């Protein structure tokens, strides 16, 4: 039960991170700067919580650590946070709510012993209709800029790969050690991006703002450091599919926080789409897997 509780807590915290990121974007930080700051803070926290080293068994494990940092850190956050430039945080959260379905498909293909049934297809279809309603927001003409939606889809794919690769290491190393290495490679793989594409230009005096450092501490210490560790624990003890089901809660939290903090409008199409997405994703989890 405690792993279900920490998975729920993680989903509730992550539901508000898009709003917090958008506040930082408004303050002048770039998506890459936000990701580098939050993962650096998380890495420091992990060293405080677990100041130990382990010998890596072979280069294959080290490469998986690298992939975890890249997909679960660099690529995921760059695509997700950049999407906030082009669409509302509620849209990003609702598209990201399809993670359980995409993860289920990937698990079906790459994790032996998992099969889905008709409730999965029915629920995922309902959820897809809900996503379409939210993206179109009542318009029948596709005249929206697709950049934000495509970037969010890339983020969903990246997170799915992170979950699949993470499953390969949880039996071999401490969860705290795995989480710390994820942050290390997340920051490391971000450095070429800073050097070649987007230099770190945010002024140091900007960090004196309570809004900036407060949101960075929340994203780095709580949403990244603590919640990545919690989610990795959930994957270890509950499995990839069960852990990702709690992502169903993210859109509800994001919509509520965004309406309060960012004054984003909640339309009837957003409400109907949210109901369809949450209902469809929940329905897709009803006996949609059997273990062999």
Q: What would the pLDDT profile of 184-222 be if each residue is shown by its tens digit?
A: 999 999 998 888 888 888 888 888 889 999 999 999 999
Beta bridge partners of 114: 291
User: Which are the contacts of 204, defined by CB distance < 8 A and separation ≥ 6?
Assistant: none
> Checking phi first, is residue 116 left (phi over 0); if not, alpha (psi -120 to 50) or beta?
beta
Examine the pLDDT at 266 and tell me if it is beyond 50.
yes
Average pLDDT over residues 235-249: 77
Contact 285, 97 (CB under 8 A): no
Contact 167, 243 (CB under 8 A): no
Pairwise CA distance, residues 153 & 146, whole Å: 11
Residue-wise pLDDT tens digits, 155-192: 999 999 998 888 777 677 888 998 999 999 999 999 98
Of 14-28, 58-72, 218-232, the poorest mean pLDDT is in: 14-28
Structure tokens at 41: 């803070």
Q: What is residue 37's predicted lDDT score, i.e. its pLDDT? A: 92
Q: What is residue 142's predicted lDDT score, i.e. its pLDDT? A: 44
Collapsing DSSP to helix, strand or coil, 115 comes out as strand
DSSP class of residue 142? -
C-alpha 58: how far from chain center: 28
pLDDT band at 292 (very low <50, low <70, confident <90, very high): very low
Number of H helices, E strands in the chain: 15, 2
Q: How far is the CA of 91 from the CAs of 12, 13, 21, 123, 217, in angstroms? A: 17, 17, 14, 19, 25
Pairwise CA distance, residues 68 & 59, whole Å: 14
Examine the pLDDT at 271 and tell me if it is beyond 90.
no
Q: What is residue 156's predicted lDDT score, i.e. its pLDDT? A: 92
Contact 181, 68 (CB under 8 A): yes
Within the chain, strands assigned E span: 114-115, 290-291
Structure tokens at 103: 């993860």
Closest C-alpha to 278, from 61, 57, 123, 105 = 123
Collapsing DSSP to helix, strand or coil, 157 comes out as helix
């Amino acid at each position: 039960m405690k792993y279900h509780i920490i998975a729920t807590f993680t989903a509730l915290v992550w539901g508000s991170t898009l709003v917090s990121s958008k506040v930082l974007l408004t303050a002048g930080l770039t998506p890459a700067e936000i990701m580098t700051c939050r993962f650096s803070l998380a890495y420091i926290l992990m060293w405080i919580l677990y100041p130990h080293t382990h010998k890596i068994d072979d280069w294959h494990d080290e490469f998986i650590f690298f992939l975890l940092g890249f997909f679960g850190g660099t690529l995921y956050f760059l695509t997700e946070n950049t999407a906030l430039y082009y669409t509302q945080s509620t849209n990003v959260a609702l598209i990201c709510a399809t993670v359980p379905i995409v993860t289920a498909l990937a698990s079906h293909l790459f994790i032996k012993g998992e099969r889905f049934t008709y409730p999965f297809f029915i629920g995922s279809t309902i959820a897809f209709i809900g996503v379409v309603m939210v993206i179109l927001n009542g318009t029948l003409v596709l005249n929206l800029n697709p950049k934000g939606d495509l970037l969010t889809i890339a983020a969903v794919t990246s997170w799915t790969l992170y979950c699949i690769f993470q499953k390969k290491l949880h039996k071999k190393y401490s969860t705290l050690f795995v989480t710390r290495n994820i942050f290390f490679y997340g920051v490391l793989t971000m450095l070429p991006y800073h050097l070649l594409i987007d230099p770190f230009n945010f002024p140091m005096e900007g960090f004196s703002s309570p809004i900036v450092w407060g949101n960075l501490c929340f994203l780095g210490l709580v949403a990244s450091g603590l919640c990545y560790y919690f989610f990795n624990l959930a994957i270890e003890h509950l499995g990839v599919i069960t852990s990702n089901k709690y992502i169903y809660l993210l859109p509800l939290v994001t919509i509520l926080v965004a309406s309060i903090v960012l004054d984003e409008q909640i339309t009837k199409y957003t409400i109907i789409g949210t109901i369809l997405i949450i209902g469809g994703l929940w329905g897709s989890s009803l006996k949609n897997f059997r273990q062999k």
